[in-house]
Amino acid sequence: MSDTIEQKCLSKGVKLTEQRRIIAKVMSESSDHPNVDELYNRVSKIDSKISIATVYRTVKLFEETGILTKHEFKGGKARYEELHEGHHDHLIDVKTGEIIEFVDEEIERLQKKVAEKYGYNLVDHKLELYGVKKKPQ
Amino acid sequence: MSDTIEQKCLSKGVKLTEQRRIIAKVMSESSDHPNVDELYNRVSKIDSKISIATVYRTVKLFEETGILTKHEFKGGKARYEELHEGHHDHLIDVKTGEIIEFVDEEIERLQKKVAEKYGYNLVDHKLELYGVKKKPQ
DNA sequence: GTAGATGCAAAGTATTTGCGACAAG
DNA sequence: CTTGTCGCAAATACTTTGCATCTAC
């Protein structure tokens, strides 16, 4: 269940090139949610010959393969994160850009209920909360 | 409470030009959520000399003024809708692109609670449900 | 009359793609 | 070997902007 990205590639028949290996490694080690530029900068430090086109192609491929997931937070560039078992949503600090991951089963349940109410099966959803840190008082 | 866009412009000190009047009218009469291209096509039918740059400038201005709201649904262009009193979220039919608006007070309440739990005041949020229509059985 | 809005075309971003060279299986 | 991938640069898609002209107030 907690396969590495490399293992996932093998099991899904995705050819493992040196570039993909590096991008996978960087993503695995990133606990934030890098955008393509940031990711490109990080992989460039390992192999400076990797082109940004390859980074774009790879994140797209990994997304289609269910290895990464793409977020398009308000007014910014697309950001990526590794897809793990447990689903979670995001709370974004509008001042600092910090991203907090959270899970709320009750909200999940209610979302499904809303979809049902309109005659739909929920296949995906996006929940983003934007907040400002409260003053410690 | 249910001001027209023109009234909102006046009360917020936004200069009312002919172009803005037309864009406001088209948005008011649109029950879908047009993207800039669609909006441009619609206003062009009323005044073919309006440039797309003006449409971009105007939706941005209207958004900043709290007249329109912008949505960036999965993998598509930015879409706009008129901002009314009651807040609502969206359920998107992944097959047809149809957009259903819904309100769920319980989810709203829980979102605020999650933000509080992490020490944040909720200033905004985005909730999108993606579903496929159930077969009538 | 004057500050701000418009149209146009050019510039900016973010992302994708054609193509010849190259590498994984 | 053969198919798919890579790097590069050019292309595309969406959006913004500089500037001279025009318009709302």
Give pLDDT, residue A136: 76
- The Cα B5–Cα A4 span in angstroms is 53
The tens digit of pLDDT for each residue in B22-33 reads 999 999 999 999
Give pLDDT, residue A2: 61
Which residues in chain B are classed under CATH 1.10.10.10?
A: 5-82
- The Cα A3–Cα A15 span in angstroms is 16
Which residues in chain A are classed under CATH 3.30.1490.190?
A: 89-131
Q: Which residues of A touch B107 (CB under 8 A)?
A: 107, 110-111, 114
**Cα–Cα–Cα angle for A91, B131, B69, nearest 5°?**
55
pLDDT-derived band of residue B4, with 50, 70 and 90 as boundaries?
confident
Mean pLDDT computed over B60-89: 91
Strand partners, B82: B68
Give pLDDT, residue B2: 62
Give pLDDT, residue B84: 87
- The per-residue DSSP string of A38-71 comes to HHHHHHHHH-TT--HHHHHHHHHHHHHTTSEEEE
Give pLDDT, residue B43: 97
- The per-residue DSSP string of B51-89 comes to -HHHHHHHHHHHHHTTSEEEE--TTS--EEEE--SS--E
% of chain B residues with pLDDT over 90: 78
Q: Which CATH class is domain A89-131?
A: alpha beta
Interchain contact, B91 vs A72, CB within 8 Å = no
Interchain contact, B126 vs A126, CB within 8 Å = yes
- The Cα A96–Cα A116 span in angstroms is 37
Work out the burial of residue B8: count CB atoms within 10 Å of its CB; fewer than 13 is exposed, 13-18 middle, 19 or more buried: middle
Do you know the residue count of chain A? 137
CB of B35 within 7 Å of some strand D atom: yes
CB of A71 within 7 Å of some strand D atom: no
User: How close, in Å, is residue A48 to chain B by CA atoms?
Assistant: 30
CB of B36 within 7 Å of some strand D atom: yes
pLDDT-derived band of residue B137, with 50, 70 and 90 as boundaries?
low
Q: Which CATH class is domain B5-82?
A: mainly alpha
Q: Which residue of B lies nearest to A75 if distances are taken between CA atoms?
A: B72
Interchain contact, B132 vs A120, CB within 8 Å = yes
Interchain contact, A102 vs B114, CB within 8 Å = yes
Which residues of chain A fall below pLDDT 50?
1
CB of B60 within 7 Å of some strand D atom: yes
